[in-house]
Amino acid sequence: MRIGVVTFPGSLDDGDARRAVARAGAKAVPLWHGDRDLRGVDAVILPGGFSYGDYLRCGAIARFAPVMAELIPAASAGLPVLGICNGFQILCEAHLLPGALTRNVGLRFINREVRIRIESAATPWTSGYAPGEEITVVLKSGVGAYAASAATIAELEAAGRVVARYAGENPNGSAGAIAGVASERGNVVGLMPHPEHAIDPLTGPGGDGLRFFMPALTRRAA
């Protein structure tokens, strides 16, 4: 299993994502924002950080990076893609996921552990979890509140495309306490909290996030 991890100027969690991929038993393949070749990977991760310095709008410039010209049609054709934090923002800017990420309620940067509930195991990235399972991961963002029209939220809820939800407290004011959503096909997932920072009890809040990176990803969404 070869999972590409894209590095944009300003990415800061690409190394953590590669480590999580390797820890899960797959091969991490570094991809550069200027690449026009996905190097035959089986899946792609867009990591957290501040791509292009978050100028203009978070993820707005990264959406036009050369690598995205290859990734967008590949994702539309079924390639599994996980966008974490800034990666989630990029996926929304690229219209691979609906909605947008807005400033946190209270306009403060949040950096702490949070509990999330896995709402759907019907994606290549969450198939290692049971629906309703609660896990501890790390939230660190200032622009992390998920927003969409009432019609879009209703559609996501009805179709089972809300992948994860904040459990108990809604720390950033996301609509419906949504922490992650999936594309209509299910292969593209955006997640605001960071599972790659919860893969080892020695260095994080535990190992709850590791299953996002497990080699079960060899199953592409139909």
Q: Which residues are catalytic?
A: 85, 194, 196
Label residue 89 left, alpha or beta by phi (over 0 means left) and psi (-120 to 50 means alpha). Answer: alpha
Question: What is each CA distance from 32 to 19, 59, 112, in whole angstroms?
Answer: 17, 16, 29
**116 close to 175: Cβ distance less than 8 angstroms:** no
**51 close to 61: Cβ distance less than 8 angstroms:** yes
**178 close to 160: Cβ distance less than 8 angstroms:** no
Burial 18-41 (b: 16+ CB within 10 A, else e): bbbbebbebebbebebebeebeeb
